[in-house]
Amino acid sequence: MTNAERHEEERPGVDEELRARILAFVARNFGAAARVRDLEPMLGGHAGLTFGFGVDAGGVDRGAYIIKLAPKGVRREGNTDVYRTAPLLRALHGQGLPVPDVPFAAPDEAEFGVPYVVMERLPGREFFIWEPHDSFDRTPAATAPLWRQTAEVLPRIHRVDWRALLPDWETPRPLDVEITRWEPIYRKALEPEWIEHADRLRLQLLKTLPEEPQLGVVHGDYQPGNCLFDAGRLTGVIDWELVRIGAVQLDIGWLMFCADHDFWADEIRPVAPVPPAELADIWQAGMGRSFADLRWYQALAAYQLGSIACLNVRLHRKRQRIDPMWERFAFTVSRFYQEGLRLVS
């Protein structure tokens, strides 16, 4: 079975209530004669429900869109507060960045029963780094430019004047909170060894906190799997649910970690032919300055994804949220923490 066929098997349906709500939404905003085409669930996304659809009105193509809905019955904060991305994406789009515009959004429940955002659908496909779609050429010559483009766009995001464009959007998150917020999560791991390794790295990260990080818009999961590529060209940065104001070095540290083969086991190894140091050089050139402590931020990324894996492996094995991908991550969780500790010791 190809990756594309497997993805089609995993794709859930669209329930009739949601279909009716989307049809009504399109009629309100595009006219009673407007028709919905190609309504389908989208893969990926950190929280909520994501669907794609197109609109035709009077025989004219009115565009393709993505709607993201907040999950029902969940407190709306952080990545479950879907609406919070609307002002952020509008601000970035207004600065000419390759992000989707948001023509429609609402923080209330009147239209869909939950808050929602409707974004323009950009061309291209995400490059899922651990198992790219079959349409991608996996050779280093083809995949290296995808990583380099990802690094080249990042400084444009980090140089945005968030204080002027988003003055009341969010309070910056301190670095110590970026560390301590994960402790109650990894402590639920089923493997005592993972908890022990995570504790050691957490304490060392707190002991070696960098001084005066540069604050800006932080994507939160910045890597080619959250970028769209069309014919080898980056067309968009997507999946902004984890966005926040914080140390911009968090994003480049995450990108470096994802590309660093020292952190990964053979069972789940990214298609990443560009060394982390090269990605750091590209980003620093775009920022117009060099940064100390990037290895610390890379170690923090390993600690964070390790903690996420602790949770998701547990949920999978207890059959609370089944996803076999996390069994592959289980082979490398200890390595995440051990290699992270090596970088900051």
What confidence tens digit (pLDDT) does each residue in 208-259 have? 999 989 999 999 999 999 999 999 999 999 999 999 999 999 999 999 999 9
248 in the same domain as 222: yes
Boundary (domain end) residue, out of 70, 100, 120: 120
Domain of 93 in residue numbering reads as 3-120
Q: What is the DSSP track for 125-174?
A: EE--TTS--TTS--SHHHHHHHHHHHHHHHHHHHTS-HHHHSTTT-PPPP
Residue 100, Cβ density class (10 Å: 0-12 exposed, 13-18 middle, ≥19 buried): buried
Query: How does pLDDT run across 146-163, given as a tens digit for each residue?
Result: 999 999 999 999 999 999
328: enclosing H helix or E strand = helix 325-329
Residues 260 and 291 in one domain: yes
Q: Is pLDDT of 288 > 80? A: yes
Residue 77 confidence (pLDDT): 79
pLDDT of residue 12: 53
Q: Are residues 190 and 314 in the same domain?
A: yes
Residue 203 and residue 105 share a domain: no
- The token pair at 55 is 């609109």
206, two tokens = 């707190």
Question: Which residue in this structure is represented by tokens 């994507």?
Answer: 219
CATH of the domain at 243: 3.90.1200.10
Domain boundary among 76, 101, 120: 120
Q: Side by side, which strands form the sheet with 49-57?
A: 35-41, 49-57, 60-69, 116-120, 104-106
Residue 153 sits in the same domain as residue 39: no
pLDDT of residue 58: 86
Give pLDDT, residue 44: 54
Residues ≥6 apart with Cβ < 8 Å to 258? 129, 223, 270, 272, 301
Q: Which of 120, 148, 163 is the last residue of a domain?
A: 120
pLDDT bin (cut points 50, 70, 90) of residue 11 is very low
pLDDT exceeds cutoff 60 at 9: no
User: Does the pLDDT value for residue 8 go beyond 90?
Assistant: no
Half-sphere exposure in the Cβ direction for 65 (13 Å, CA): 25
| Number of other CB atoms surrounding residue 190 within 10 Å | 12
Looking at the structure, tell me whether residues 63 and 204 fall in a common domain: no
Q: What is the CATH number of the domain that holds 78?
A: 3.30.200.20
Q: Where residue 3 falls among pLDDT bands split at 50, 70, 90?
A: very low
Query: What stretch of H or E contains 270?
Result: none
- Asked if residue 134 and residue 30 are part of one domain, the reply reads no
**How many of the other CB atoms lie within 10 Å of CB of 60?**
10
C-alpha span between 223 and 228 (Å, rounded): 11
Domain count, the chain: 2
Using alpha carbons only, what angle is made at residue 231 by residues 229 and 236, rounded to the nearest 5 degrees?
A: 25
The per-residue pLDDT for 238 is 96
276 shares a domain with 252 = yes
Looking at the structure, tell me whether residues 196 and 288 fall in a common domain. Answer: yes
Contact 84/53 with Cβ under 8 angstroms? no
- Are 240 and 298 members of one domain? yes
Same domain membership, residue 129 and residue 112: no
Higher pLDDT, 155 or 2: 155
Confidence of residue 104 (pLDDT cuts 50, 70, 90): very high
User: For 6-34, what is the mean pLDDT?
Assistant: 81
Which residue's entry shows tokens 């083969």? Answer: 261
Residue 105 has pLDDT above 50, yes or no: yes
- 40/144 same-domain check: no
